[in-house]
Structures are given as structure tokens and as C-alpha cells.
Amino acid sequence: AALRRHGDAIMLVPPPRELGEQIKAGTGLAKWVVPHPENDGEVFEAIDDVPPEARQGKNRLLASMFPPCGEYAEQWEKVRANCHRLLPHLMDTGGFFVAAFEKRKDLPPSAKARREARREEYKEKKAA
């Protein structure tokens, strides 16, 4: 989701070499399923498979929860080896997903920052 949102402003980079020697981990997955938030045992492979009611409400399923598709699938295939899944049974730990990003250029301001800037402009105009 971060790569899709920020484009070429960030890049997924390999972890430090020393880290690879110290931990046992799997690489990022090519495909995975997403469980239905309410129906045990029901899983989806793509956002297009999700019924409309599961895309709404507090526990809704989002497109960013699914494996990338289209041009993003190609991008993910190139960089997924840089991600690590620390699996509990390999090192007697909890399970974690680790990815390191490198910022390549300034990121555009968030929607929240843009709203706050507009509010400040409005307050300044109103005060003048």
C-alpha cells in the first residue's frame, strides 16, 4: 500500500546484510488470502471476490489488504525478496513482517495536512 500511495518517492530496500545472518525468516509472499471479518472459514483471494457488505462498516476489507494486481504486481514481484516474515516457529518469537523503506524525494502532504493548511489560510483571511 505504501509503494502504491507514494510511487517513486519511496523505495523498498534490502535489510542490512548482518540482519540476514542473525535471523531466520521467510521472504514476502507472492499471494495470500484475506479472511472474511465475520464468517469464519471464508477467505478471499482478491478484492473483486469480496461481497459489498464486507466492504462496508467497521470491519470492512480494503483493497490494500490483498496481493497487488496489475502494474503493482510486477513492482511487488521485483521487491518482495526485500521483505521478511519473522515466523514464530523459526526463532521462538512472535510473528512480524519487516520491510525497510528509503525515502527518495519529498512526499506530498497528507490530506490532513492539506485540510489544516486550508483552515489556517481561512483563519488568516477572516482575521484580516
Name the residue with higher pLDDT: 52 or 16.
52
Give yes or no for residue 66 having a pLDDT over 70: yes
Q: CB count, 10 Å around CB of 100?
A: 14
Sign of CA dihedral 56, 77, 33, 26: negative
pLDDT band at 111 (very low <50, low <70, confident <90, very high): confident
The arithmetic mean of pLDDT across residues 43-59, rounded, is: 92
Q: Please indicate, yes or no, whether the overall pTM of this predicted structure exceeds 0.85.
A: no
Predicted confidence band of residue 128 (pLDDT cuts 50, 70, 90): confident
